[in-house]
Structure 1
Amino acid sequence: MNDAAAAYQIALVWKITGNTSYADKAVSILNGWASTLKGIGCNASSSWDFILMAGTQGYQFANAAEIMRSYSGFSASNLTAFQSWMRNVWYPICHGVLPNGLNIYANWDLGCIAQVMAIGVLTDNSTMFNEAVTYFKTGAGNGAAQQVAYYIHPGYYGQCQEAGRDQGHNTLDVSHLTVIAQQAWNQGVDLYGYSNNRILAISEHTSKGNLKDTSTNNFYTVPYIPYIYGSNYQYTFSNGSQGSNRPTWGCIYHHYVNVKGLVAPYTGKQLALQTPENGGQGCCSGGYDQLGFESLTCALDPISSDAAPSGLTAVFLNGKVLLSWWGSAYATSYVVQRGTASDGPYTTLASGNTDPRSYEDSGASGGTYYYIVRANSTSGPASNQVSITTGNPLIAYYKFDETSETSASDSSGNGHTATLSGNTSFVSARINNGVKLDGSSGYVSLPTTLLDQLGDFTIAAWVYVSSSSNWQRLFDFGFGTGRYMFFTTHSGNASAAFFITYNGGGDATQHLFIPNTTQSRLPLNTWTHIAITHLGTQTWLFLNGQIVNVNNYQYLHPYQIPGSTDLPAQYWIGRSQYSVDPYLNGIVDDFRIYAGCLPASAVQFLASMSG
């Protein structure tokens, strides 16, 4: 680790000063290691820790060599030998990790993403480079974009996967993300802006939580939801190593502020505390976990004019419209405006908003509303417009009253047509016709945008179970086996249940079971009405119009399930995200999704309906 840092730092000195004695020393270090190190591993007591070293020191060696490849003293044969060494000794370790994703903390993944990407650049291997980019966007491990930012709080504060562990590791996540994003940017790939600036969301949450408010001399409070990781239950933002100040904030700050014109106040405060910062140093591994010197390598002149507020989103949560947006570099405050027609006119709801960049509109009674946010004043530059309909609107409604088609129309009027796949048919059901699923290949696919604004919700349906198999689904809306919500007619403990998770099954899942009674699993060969309603942090499970269970601390919401803009959405009736789970054998009728929490009386009315 010392030599990887030394090679990089000496290479920088040569690049700046032109003094070839530094170049020769860097080349000596690189050639020495390439001709000596034949393999990387650990003894049994250290288990898999060598993967951490291979990721972090691997990308650092590759970056040092990338600087030196333009030096005549680093001969073509030297470069070829070094490239071969990186490709054959270093790359296989992280390549073996990436396709499957380790079920461990984010840094294991992130170091390997950075390493594979760096070696891809050094060896001019686009396949290798794209492997890293693709994994960051769609991977199954905790370093992929959708997992590393576990939860996005109002105002786009991104709770990192390791925020409840300790701040040494939490800030290291930012260090690794910086390397990944900057390496990709240098190759023309924008991961900084990926998935609505997800890396900035993490940086702002992490940097704020490790800064002290100068007015109180206490650390800032940041929002946090509990994170469950295997047997680790992390209920608060960890104060372990709080105040960590890694030399890692320069690239993120200058890109978002001075390239994109966004605001990054807490990232900027961290950078100001450290500039000019150092690089790898000290006695132990922590000092060498990042390259450092980012105020040197990434500094940019202040942007001449900032951007308008951007990335405005709206969801209906806890009975209110929740708005979040990205601020602009030179704005001092924000004005929130609402209209009842697209493009206005708008009425001002609030002004002087600063931190967080979010707003809750509790006055939007049933109807469709249009929102914008302006910088500084009512005539300042405006954000994108976003619209949302309140009043518990029906956003998808499948009567399944067709007779022979391969699709099912959406009777909500929103055009969310469903597609039938496998062995399905329309048969006489509870209310006119329903869709019959054969238990082996039949299922229904729903459009992939249904969860986008779904905070509070109601999902209701009639189901007739012909045979009961463990884990068969009434519905399963998700993005593979890591992010989903579903209702099963028969779970592992034999109860029918609702599940939702952002980070895999087991203890990372919030669930709500039908209590263990004679009807804990859905009965066979009879019609049963199921409804799940959710408001804020409360979820109710209804069976035939009656509440059978309540979760008063359901802090996961459907709109955050997507996580990444490249994950393929799989919104299914009758089929599981898990390929080994059985398909539903039965009939589904009158399937409804509402963007809001219906009162119990409305659910009781739905449960009383018949043909």
Structure 2
Amino acid sequence: MNPAAAAGGGGGSGGGGDGGTGVVPCDGLPSAAHRYTFDGEGAVVADTVGDADGEILGGASLDGGGGLALDGEDDYVDLPSGLLAGWRDVTVMAWVARDSGGAYMRIVDLGVGSSGEDPVEGDGSVGRSYLAITPSTGFDVRGVAALASDSGAAGQVEIPTALGLDDGETHQVAVVVDGEAADMALYVDGALLGRVAVGFSLSAIQDANNWLGRSQFDQDPYFHGRYDELRIYDEALAGCAVEAAWSAGPDRP
């Protein structure tokens, strides 16, 4: 099934070739600012193109085969704070396979909560500013969604869809924030699922807690599944570029 056909809500949908104001040529992708291929073993997630190595917490470790499995109980990756500092645009792209789990677990969540940096689990912290992708929600359409806010839940903008990621397959998910267009777009497997206007700049997101698998909202569950790659670009990729990345697949330049 074409992922675009399963979209619901958000700011419209279309094929992966639909782009925003991004000017990235589609016959070649730019280098990512940060790239994590999950190679090796142990608890360090190396940034292969930058200097922002992450740490795996909760007891999980790299499997030696280019992947990271999180158990949905307390495993997550803590990336360095300030990854978005000084950026007007961003594209966050991940290749993941979801296992079981409840609504609002996070594939990625860049932001901060009411308890500040590195909150203790169980302290009731709630999200204050964030950019996030979740594989399922409690919205009327309960599939994969992009979430962003500069002022907590009251100021949240979202792109909800009806597309589930519960088929056991690896999927590419990507959220694009375009500062010039003042919008956010969500893609799955190269297809644009929705676009929504954003009334605040990327600089309004205080990314003190840059997490894979954990939410800025303490009550949300941890992600249960596998990561094959994460890329963070300091520009808003056009839809055709996201589609080209999907076609090329993970773990390739």
Same fold (TM over 0.5): yes
Deviations 1:318-346 (A, max 9, x none): 779xxxxxxxxxxxxxxxxxxxxxxxxxx
Quick one: which amino acid aligns to residue 583 of structure 1?
Y
- Return the offset for 1:475: 0.7
Tell me what 2:219 maps to: 580
Tell me what 1:522 maps to: 165
Deviations 1:91-114 (A, max 9, x none): xxxxxxxxxxxxxxxxxxxxxxxx
SS in 1 for 2:184: strand
| Alignment check: 8 A CA contact 1:500 1:556 kept | no
Tell me what 1:590 maps to: 229
Judged with a 3 Å threshold, the aligned counterparts in structure 2 of structure 1 residues 502 and 524 are, in CA distance, closer, same or farther, namely same
Select the structure of larger CA radius of gyration.
1
Deviations 1:374-396 (A, max 9, x none): xxxxxxxxxxxxxxxxx965211
Quick one: which amino acid aligns to residue 499 of structure 1?
L
| Alignment check: 8 A CA contact 2:72 2:101 kept | no
Tell me what 2:203 maps to: 559
Moved over 3 A (4+): none
Choose the corresponding residue for 2:60, options 414, 418, 424: 424
Deviations 1:297-337 (A, max 9, x none): xxxxxxxxxxxxxxxxxxxxx779xxxxxxxxxxxxxxxxx
| Alignment check: 8 A CA contact 2:96 2:225 kept | yes
- Return the offset for 1:594: 0.3
Judged with a 3 Å threshold, the aligned counterparts in structure 2 of structure 1 residues 467 and 524 are, in CA distance, closer, same or farther, namely farther
Quick one: which amino acid aligns to residue 158 of structure 2?
H
Tell me what 2:10 maps to: none
SS in 1 for 2:33: strand
Whether 1:410 aligns to 2:56 is: no
In the aligned structure 2, how far is the partner of 1:584 from the partner of 1:469? 9
In the aligned structure 2, how far is the partner of 1:495 from the partner of 1:479? 24
Whether 1:462 aligns to 2:95 is: yes
Tell me what 2:107 maps to: 474
Tell me what 2:175 maps to: 532
In the aligned structure 2, how far is the partner of 1:557 from the partner of 1:438? 34
Judged with a 3 Å threshold, the aligned counterparts in structure 2 of structure 1 residues 469 and 524 are, in CA distance, closer, same or farther, namely farther
Tell me what 2:13 maps to: none
Quick one: which amino acid aligns to residue 173 of structure 2?
I
- Return the offset for 1:468: 2.9
| Alignment check: 8 A CA contact 1:407 1:417 kept | yes
- Return the offset for 1:591: 0.2
Judged with a 3 Å threshold, the aligned counterparts in structure 2 of structure 1 residues 502 and 607 are, in CA distance, closer, same or farther, namely same
Q: How does 1:379-394 map to 2 (within 5 A)?
A: 393-394=31-32
Relative to the length of structure 2, the TM-score reads 0.76
| Alignment check: 8 A CA contact 1:454 1:557 kept | no
Deviations 1:428-460 (A, max 9, x none): 7xxx51111110010001111201022211110
**Superposition RMSD in Å:** 2.2
Deviations 1:451-485 (A, max 9, x none): 10222111101111011311100011111021112
Tell me what 1:510 maps to: 157
In the aligned structure 1, how far is the partner of 2:149 from the partner of 2:95? 24
Deviations 1:172-204 (A, max 9, x none): xxxxxxxxxxxxxxxxxxxxxxxxxxxxxxxxx
Tell me what 1:398 maps to: 36
Flag structure 2 segments of 5+ consecutive residues without an equivalent: 1-20, 114-126
In the aligned structure 1, how far is the partner of 2:98 from the partner of 2:51? 28
Deviations 1:275-303 (A, max 9, x none): xxxxxxxxxxxxxxxxxxxxxxxxxxxxx
Choose the corresponding residue for 1:501, options 149, 170, 174: 149
SS in 1 for 2:203: helix
Quick one: which amino acid aligns to residue 187 of structure 2?
F
Judged with a 3 Å threshold, the aligned counterparts in structure 2 of structure 1 residues 499 and 405 are, in CA distance, closer, same or farther, namely same
Q: How does 1:84-99 map to 2 (within 5 A)?
A: none
In the aligned structure 2, how far is the partner of 1:487 from the partner of 1:522? 12
In the aligned structure 1, how far is the partner of 2:33 from the partner of 2:93? 12
Higher relative contact order (CA 8 A, sep 6+): 2
In the aligned structure 2, how far is the partner of 1:598 from the partner of 1:504? 26
Flag structure 1 segments of 5+ consecutive residues without an equivalent: 1-317, 321-364, 366-390, 563-567
In the aligned structure 1, how far is the partner of 2:211 from the partner of 2:177? 20
- Return the offset for 1:569: 1.3
In the aligned structure 1, how far is the partner of 2:165 from the partner of 2:87? 27
In the aligned structure 2, how far is the partner of 1:433 from the partner of 1:476? 22
- Return the offset for 1:555: 2.7
